[in-house]
Structure 1
Amino acid sequence: MSSRYRLFDRSQLSVLPLADRRSLIDVSIVEEKSLRDEVHPSFVSVAHGLAEARRDGNARVLMIGAHVLRSGMQEYIFDLMEEGLISYIAVNGACAVHDFELALHGSTTECVATYISNGQFGLWQETGLLNDIVINGVKSGLGFGEAVGEYIVNEKLPHADISLFAKAYKLGIPITVHVGIGYDIVHEHPNCDGKAVGEASYIDFLIFAAALESLEGGVVMNFGSAVMAPEIYLKALSMVRNAAAGDGRTVSDFITLVCDLHDLPEQVSAEAPKTSAQYYFRPWKTMLVRTVADGGRSYYVRGFHTDTIPQLWTAVRRNSSS
């Protein structure tokens, strides 16, 4: 049985090579690590928390939006991974697109205003390889993130050295991709298989939930994800707490950190009233208030990723040398 409604015919699409696209970002955006003179006090507390979580084998979770990669913060994150201060990474579908394009082609990010005018936005041949990678990965029982990391490493893509997925795969750190169907440009492509995308991303969600089973005494950090991060974290944490309650355990003593550009008050331990637009900023009420209300600690730092991630890294380096 099929739908009674007409589906878009993807055979009509013209998918062009990336060589025809004018990209806005290339590998030169990746910054070399450098210590910052000033560090927000919250990062000092989080650095201590990360060190303690590493010592005790508790979760050190990084959740990011795609702009973190587009800001060139890869080397800072790589160092935290290599030092064992990040044990798990969760990203959205756009992260996979940008990381893969950079690894394969050395450039990423198109001008939406330019290419939406003629309907070419997102329709680039090489980027569509992600769909094939996911389809093949699911056949092998792999989630989205592991399949992409494995491909970049095994195929020795030209710029694999700046790939977050490749670094995670090499280090054995789970990186999971949490996709909303229709959110990402690869969903436009004729070779996109929604069943495979859904299965791969759901495998990743279960991997993510398993990672939160060791969150007691751990740290969860969110840089720039206003919807994906707080939503999957909320559901996975509920699953983990539900299972823990059956064993007479609790998952309540951990640290959350959110870094974004919203103007929040200095004290974020109480959520905004429903009459305020800030109430609907999910990272605040979900990650900074509700899920740490039973014994956790939360921190918020406002700033661009090019400021906040280097400051966190600096705090970590200073903590390790003290």
Structure 2
Amino acid sequence: MIVWIDGAFGAGKSTLARQLHRRLPEALAFDPQCVGAILVTSAPPAPSGDFQDLPLWRKLVADFVIGLADDYGQMLIVPMTLVNPHHRGEIFGLIKKSGHELLHVFLEVPADELRRRIDAQILVDDDWVRDGGARAFRHRKVERCVAARESLTGDTLVLRGDRHTPAGLADLVVAAIDDRKPVPTGADSRCSSNSGEAADAPEIGPALRSVRVVATTMLKADARARLSEQLGPGFVVLDLRKAPPSTDIVIAPVLSPQTISALKQMFPAARVVLTEIEDRDTSVSFPGPVQRAIEAGADGYVVAGDLAALAAFTAADTHLALNPGRPGQLQGSTVRSSGADQSGADESVRRELGKHSRRREIH
């Protein structure tokens, strides 16, 4: 599959591409800008000054995408703005004609926010003249890029780039990718509560009424099966898209507040647990801000409801010390003061963060 990330300059295409690579490390990356750079130095320029207006650029980009997909058989992530609907149709038409599936993702961002992002970016390091030229070019394209939204085809995945975090956008794209993948019969047969096969269906059946249902978009079939086995016979782990509304627990990476709210609406009875994980055995990698802070050398992590709760946490040396029973692990907490009784802070959420395994425990 080819995942083409489209949108205006400053919409967040490259950032989303990096987030996708963290989730899909086997995917290849291709930047059509490189083809444009070759043509700028090797061919007469287009009268408009935009190399996308060169028919050769469009042909070479399509050939390159098809060649990479044919020769390596891996997913391809392509971040590139395509403003002209005819150019877009020409490139996409050649890709689809070759037999490869194409997911077109368009990041929609309002013009004012795009201008703010463009002004905040450093586009060319150590060359203020070229940096200013690149910035001016992007500003000139803002209105046209925003207007491109109206020419999109019905199969385009349109996402509001200003309403989700990059990680949240990546989650939505991965879910769309999974939607288009054929699921072999019995692919999730190991995600079962007993000896039978888990029924990945929107309606909960008799086989699931006696177990706790865990839903996630973070894990592929093999990792869901592994987690289901480790949880034991009282649990079943399903793909989020196939989980019933009565799901008990939703496991997700760090998400935007809007996405969390949407999950709460989809699964009103579920606990939504945001997770940072690095599991080499199943190639599951969802790093987050806490993990990065720990790796950078932070010695503690606390979400304090107020200053009194922070004081209670800070005063308890055991909270800030490395766990003596688990060398290399760090204890963190989410604490809220209870007013008269500060001991309630010790009965709230405690999270242990280790080098390879980070768990959240509720007391």
With normalisation by structure 1, the TM-score equals: 0.29
Larger strand share, 1 or 2:
2
- Please tell me whether Structure 1 or Structure 2 has the larger radius of gyration of its CA atoms: 2
With normalisation by structure 2, the TM-score equals: 0.27
RCO (CA 8 Å, sep 6+): is it higher in 1 or 2? Answer: 1
